[in-house]
């Protein structure tokens, strides 16, 4: 696959990793392919899997960096069940978590009929099996290897008989103090090389930057390892984010498709099945060949939709599931997804990464042929609100308060990714994988880097104060203000529906301000949960309106405002007056004397993406 490059680190790997074609010429290839199909029931290898497996079969040390979900397990499970002539059969896999270990063992046994064992408790059966070397895969924690002299004795005995085929260090970044997941017991794995000099080692991880990679290799004392490092960057994808405003999303999407992707293959992700269906119908009515596909369809209908799309009889598919096709030219998100990647930097987030809506993975379906493709995401504050509500109302037993908090953070992160207008999208996405990306290399392949409108940082402290004042006053006077009305009231609009609020504190206080800026401040305060919305039903109708009220962080924010300025980064459509400062530079402190007290700009102002995270 040309889109997922595998790159070598020239500094520490004098021998390049085998290319796919070289790996296919390996004498092990036929057996490996057969085992892949017969035991693991998989049709083909994914990026770098074959290379890793072949190098390992050849007795080389191997280092693998592969995204979570990329298929690291297969890199060692496959060689483990292949008969190696020169070495014994035993593959010893070090993994950090007993839960993961049990899971893998269960899967190997039940699904693939491979006799694997988890070596945690002392058990005579396990030890007898081990001593005989007659078991293909043994999972063990690093603590067990470090602390149990008995375990080491057994291993040494097995090794003397030449029965250990390889050591596998999964989540190998835990050995590095550079990473966030350093584990004391991993450090002791450095001894494996001295104790078992003839046993090849394979180290795998999904999170390592260059420093960590070098550290892992040196700590495990890997000898001239084959390094298979997969970048998460997809250079041929363009990342674009739009706020949903005004017109219907189906109109917006239809326009985009007709303007730029006429007749081309694309995917539209929607959060709800209904949206899938409605969107697909709306697009069809506008002459775009579209269909939909989601888990609620019968297998037949799903199959039919999928094949129509795969065979190009329809060009656009609106769905919530995965089908792979090489020439997908655009991936559109009609709603904001739950999180950016589903791959956190810590082991904890990775465990519940089984999230159906993963922005990175979903956009990853675009441009698998290596040709340019666009990823367009439509979002708005409503998306954030409904996701937050969904998490709150989730009464699944598995949803602990901690996991809800984590999901909410992920959603917040997703929203600030969208709302952000100053940071390169590609750099932001790659930062999730610990991959540093210099935005100079983006070459305008994201909407932030290619936006010609100059960026402005505005001190919006006074505006925020006015908003709070108005919301408090509305509460005291039992006045219901909708989100859009807040802006109108602050502007001192004389229109009939707004004039009735002229008695409230704050009315007309921001007459001179740009409407877009006011709107942005209100949304940023909603995002930060300084404000909240309450849904009110109209008399005898199914019609609900969202009214603004103080949110859970109202008071914290109010106090903070006395100490720090509130800075908003945005791109004004109209040229800005004295209170803003063109360019992405610092805020001009003197620009604030128009209203309110004059404050020096603090070193760390409150910014729109700061969140108030509860400590408990
Ligand atoms: P990682 O450890 O890299 O996070 P896993 O080894 O758990 O990923 O694999 C993730 C998923 O990918 C599993 O469901 C696995 O069955 C699947 N997978 C692995 N290799 C392949 C392949 N060659 N083709 C299709 N699916 C694969
Ligand atoms: Mg894994
Ligand atoms: Zn960019």
- pLDDT for 381 equals 94
Nearest to 192 by CA among 156, 240, 238, 241: 156
What residues are in contact with ligand 1 under a 6 Å CB criterion? 42, 45-46, 49, 66, 68-74
* Alpha-helix residue ranges (DSSP H) falling in 20-123: 20-24, 29-38, 49-57, 72-81, 98-110
For residue 42, the ligand 1 atom closest to its alpha carbon is 24
- pLDDT for 592 equals 43
How many residues are listed for the chain in this entry? 616
* pTM of the shown model: 0.66
Q: What is the mean pLDDT of the chain?
A: 83
Q: Which of 31-40, 296-305, 352-361 is most confident? A: 31-40
Farthest-apart Cα atoms in the chain, separation? 91
Nearest to 61 by CA among 209, 172, 206, 181: 172
Question: Any idea which ligand is nearest the CA of 237?
Answer: 3
* Phi, psi of 53, deg, nearest 5: -65, -45
Which of the listed residues 47, 73, 100, 206 should we mutate to test ligand 1's pocket, taking the one with most ligand atoms within 8 A of CB? 73
Nearest to 39 by CA among 87, 89, 107: 107
Which residue, by CA, sits nearest to atom 12 of ligand 1?
Answer: 71
Q: 2 versus 321: which is more confidently predicted?
A: 321
Distance from residue 238's CA to the centre of ligand 3 (Å): 9
Which of the listed residues 32, 74, 96, 103 should we mutate to test ligand 1's pocket, taking the one with most ligand atoms within 8 A of CB? 74
- pLDDT for 599 equals 40
Distance from residue 385's CA to the centre of ligand 2 (Å): 33
Distance, in Å, from the CA atom of 163 to the CA atom of 81, rounded to the nearest integer, reads 14
Q: Which of the residue ranges 227-231, 311-315, 400-404 would you say has the lowest mean pLDDT?
A: 311-315
- Across residues 552-557, what is the average pLDDT? 96
Residues lining ligand 2 (ion), CB within 5 A?
72
- Across residues 165-179, what is the average pLDDT? 88
Q: In what order do the strands lie in the sheet with 373-379?
A: 237-243, 373-379, 330-333, 266-269, 316-319, 290-293
Helix, strand and coil percent figures for the chain, each rounded to 5: 40, 15, 45
> pLDDT tens digits for 427-484?
998 887 767 899 999 999 999 999 999 999 999 999 999 999 999 999 999 999 999 8
- pLDDT for 207 equals 73
Distance, in Å, from the CA atom of 530 to the CA atom of 599, rounded to the nearest integer, reads 22
Q: Which of the residue ranges 73-82, 112-121, 285-294, 600-609 would you say has the lowest mean pLDDT?
A: 600-609
Which residue, by CA, sits nearest to atom 20 of ligand 1?
Answer: 71
* Alpha-helix residue ranges (DSSP H) falling in 165-311: 184-187, 192-195, 210-219, 249-260, 273-285, 299-310
Q: 187 versus 544: which is more confidently predicted?
A: 187
Q: Both tokens of residue 246?
A: 């005004």
Which of the listed residues 71, 107, 203, 360 should we mutate to test ligand 1's pocket, taking the one with most ligand atoms within 8 A of CB? 71
- pLDDT for 582 equals 43
DSSP letter (8 states) at residue 314: S
Distance, in Å, from the CA atom of 289 to the CA atom of 10, rounded to the nearest integer, reads 48
Distance, in Å, from the CA atom of 280 to the CA atom of 517, rounded to the nearest integer, reads 35
pLDDT at 358 over 70: no
Q: Which of the residue ranges 160-169, 396-405, 423-432 would you say has the lowest mean pLDDT?
A: 396-405
Distance, in Å, from the CA atom of 359 to the CA atom of 282, rounded to the nearest integer, reads 24
ipTM of the complex: 0.98
């Amino acid at each position: 696959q040309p889109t997922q490059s595998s790159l070598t680190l020239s500094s520490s790997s004098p021998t390049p990793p085998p290319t796919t074609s070289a790996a296919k010429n390996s004498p092990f290839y036929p057996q490996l392919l057969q085992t892949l199909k017969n035991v693991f029931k998989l049709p083909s290898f994914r990026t770098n899997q074959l290379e890793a497996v072949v190098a390992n079969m050849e007795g080389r040390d191997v280092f693998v960096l592969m995204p979570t979900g990329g298929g690291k397990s297969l890199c060692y499970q496959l060689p483990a069940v292949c008969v190696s002539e020169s070495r014994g059969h035993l593959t010893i896999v070090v993994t950090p978590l007993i839960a993961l270990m049990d899971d893998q063992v269960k899967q190997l046994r039940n699904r693939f009929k491979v006799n694997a064992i988890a070596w945690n408790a002392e058990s005579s059966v396990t030890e007898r099996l081990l001593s005989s070397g007659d078991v293909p895969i043994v999972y063990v924690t690093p603590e067990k290897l470090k602390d149990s002299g008995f375990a080491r004795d057994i291993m040494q005995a097995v090794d003397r008989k030449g029965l250990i085929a390889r050591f596998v260090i999964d989540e190998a970044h835990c050995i590095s103090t550079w990473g966030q997941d350093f584990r004391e017991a991993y450090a002791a794995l450095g001894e494996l090389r001295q104790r078992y000099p003839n046993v090849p080692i394979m180290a795998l991880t999904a999170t390592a930057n260059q420093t960590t990679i070098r550290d892992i290799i040196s700590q495990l004392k890997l000898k001239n390892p084959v390094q298979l490092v997969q970048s998460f960057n997809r250079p041929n994808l363009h990342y674009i984010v739009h706020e949903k405003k005004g017109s219907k999303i189906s109109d917006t999407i239809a326009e985009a498709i007709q303007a730029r992707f006429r007749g081309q293959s694309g995917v539209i992700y929607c959060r709800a099945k209904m949206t899938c269906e409605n969107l697909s119908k709306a697009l069809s009515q506008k002459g775009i060949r579209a269909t939909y596909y989601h888990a609620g369809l019968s297998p037949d209908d799903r199959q039919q939709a999928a094949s129509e799309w795969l065979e190009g009889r329809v060009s656009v598919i609106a769905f919530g599931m995965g089908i792979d096709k090489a020439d997908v030219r655009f991936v559109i998100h009609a709603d904001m997804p739950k999180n950016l990647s589903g791959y956190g930097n810590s082991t904890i987030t990775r465990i519940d990464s089984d999230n159906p809506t993963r922005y990175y993975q979903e956009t990853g379906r675009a441009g698998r042929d290596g040709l340019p493709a666009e990823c367009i995401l439509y979002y708005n504050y409503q998306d954030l609100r409904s996701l937050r509500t969904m998490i709150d109302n989730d009464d699944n037993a598995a949803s602990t308060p901690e996991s809800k908090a984590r999901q909410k953070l992920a959603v917040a992160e997703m929203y600030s990714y969208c709302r952000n207008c100053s940071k390169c999208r590609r750099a932001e996405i790659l930062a999730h994988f610990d991959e540093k990306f210099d935005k100079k290399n983006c070459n305008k392949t994201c909407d932030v880097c290619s936006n010609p409108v100059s960026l402005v940082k505005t001190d919006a402290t006074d505006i925020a104060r006015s908003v709070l004042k108005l919301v408090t006053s509305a509460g005291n006077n039992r006045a219901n203000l909708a989100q859009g009305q807040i802006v109108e009231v602050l502007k001192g609009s004389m229109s009939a529906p707004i004039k009735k609020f002229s008695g409230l504190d704050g009315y007309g206080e921001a007459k001179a301000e740009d409407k877009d800026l006011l709107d942005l401040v209100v949304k940023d305060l909603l995002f930060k949960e300084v404000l909240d919305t309450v849904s009110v039903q109209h008399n005898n109708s199914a019609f609900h309106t969202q009214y603004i009220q103080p949110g859970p962080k109202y008071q914290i924010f109010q106090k903070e405002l006395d100490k720090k300025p509130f800075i908003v980064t945005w791109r004004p459509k109209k040229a800005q007056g004295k209170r803003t400062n063109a360019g992405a530079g610092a805020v001009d402190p003197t620009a604030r004397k128009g209203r309110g007290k004059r404050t020096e700009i603090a070193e760390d102002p409150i910014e729109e993406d700061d969140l108030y995270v509860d400590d408990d």
